[in-house]
C-alpha cells in the first residue's frame, strides 16, 4: 500500500510541476489536464512505479543503490521513453520542438517523479546511534 501512495504522490507532484510550468508559460508541452488525461497520467505513474519496484527487487546493482541516484536515473530514463511515446500518440507536443525551457521543465518533472518513486520503493533506513 505504501508503494501505491508513494507513486500517486510522485505522479501528483510531476503533474503539478508541469501544470505550473504551463500556467506560467515556461513550458508549451500542452498536456491538456482533462480528467481523462489525469487518470491516464496516474495509471501510467502506477505502472512505472511498479516497474521500478520490480527492477529494484530483481537487479542486484539497483538493490545497493540509494534512492537519490536511483530516482534520478529512473526519472531520466522514464522521461526519455514516455515523452516520445506520448508525443507519437498526439497526447503532448514533441518537447524538442517546443524549446529548451519545455525540455528542462519536463525533465525536472520526471526527475521529481523518479526521486519520489525511488523513496517509495527504498525507504530511508533509520540508523540508531549508540
For 9-34, what is the mean pLDDT?
90
For residue 31, what pLDDT band results from cuts at 50, 70 and 90? confident
Chain center to CA of 48: 8
In a domain, 89, yes or no: yes
* pLDDT value for 49: 94
* pLDDT value for 42: 93
Cβ-count burial 68-82 (b if 16+ within 10 Å, e if not): eebbbebbeebbeeb
How many independent structural domains does the chain possess?
A: 1
In a domain, 128, yes or no: no
* pLDDT value for 116: 96
Residue 101 has pLDDT above 80, yes or no: yes
* pLDDT value for 123: 67
Contacts with 11 (C-beta within 8 Å, 6 or more apart), sequence order: 41, 42, 44, 45, 46, 113
In a domain, 130, yes or no: no
Residue 63 has pLDDT above 90, yes or no: no
Contacts with 89 (C-beta within 8 Å, 6 or more apart), sequence order: none
In a domain, 127, yes or no: no
In a domain, 66, yes or no: yes
Lowest mean pLDDT among 2-6, 15-19, 37-41, 124-128: 124-128
In a domain, 102, yes or no: yes
For residue 8, what pLDDT band results from cuts at 50, 70 and 90? very high
Angle between helices 2-23 and 35-58 (to 10 degrees): 130
Residue 93: domain span: 2-121
* pLDDT value for 93: 87
In a domain, 129, yes or no: no
In a domain, 47, yes or no: yes
Amino acid at each position: 500500500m505504501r508503494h501505491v501512495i508513494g507513486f500517486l504522490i510522485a505522479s501528483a507532484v510531476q503533474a503539478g510541476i508541469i501544470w505550473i510550468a504551463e500556467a506560467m508559460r515556461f513550458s508549451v508541452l500542452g498536456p491538456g489536464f482533462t480528467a481523462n488525461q489525469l487518470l491516464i497520467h496516474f495509471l501510467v505513474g502506477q505502472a512505472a512505479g511498479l516497474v521500478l519496484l520490480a527492477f529494484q527487487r530483481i537487479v542486484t546493482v539497483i538493490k545497493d543503490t540509494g534512492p537519490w541516484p536511483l530516482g534520478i536515473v529512473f526519472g531520466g530514463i522514464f522521461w526519455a521513453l514516455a515523452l516520445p511515446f506520448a508525443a507519437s500518440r498526439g497526447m503532448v507536443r514533441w518537447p524538442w520542438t517546443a524549446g529548451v525551457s519545455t525540455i528542462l521543465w519536463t525533465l525536472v518533472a520526471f526527475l521529481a517523479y523518479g526521486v519520489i518513486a525511488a523513496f517509495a520503493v527504498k525507504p530511508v533506513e533509520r540508523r540508531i546511534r549508540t
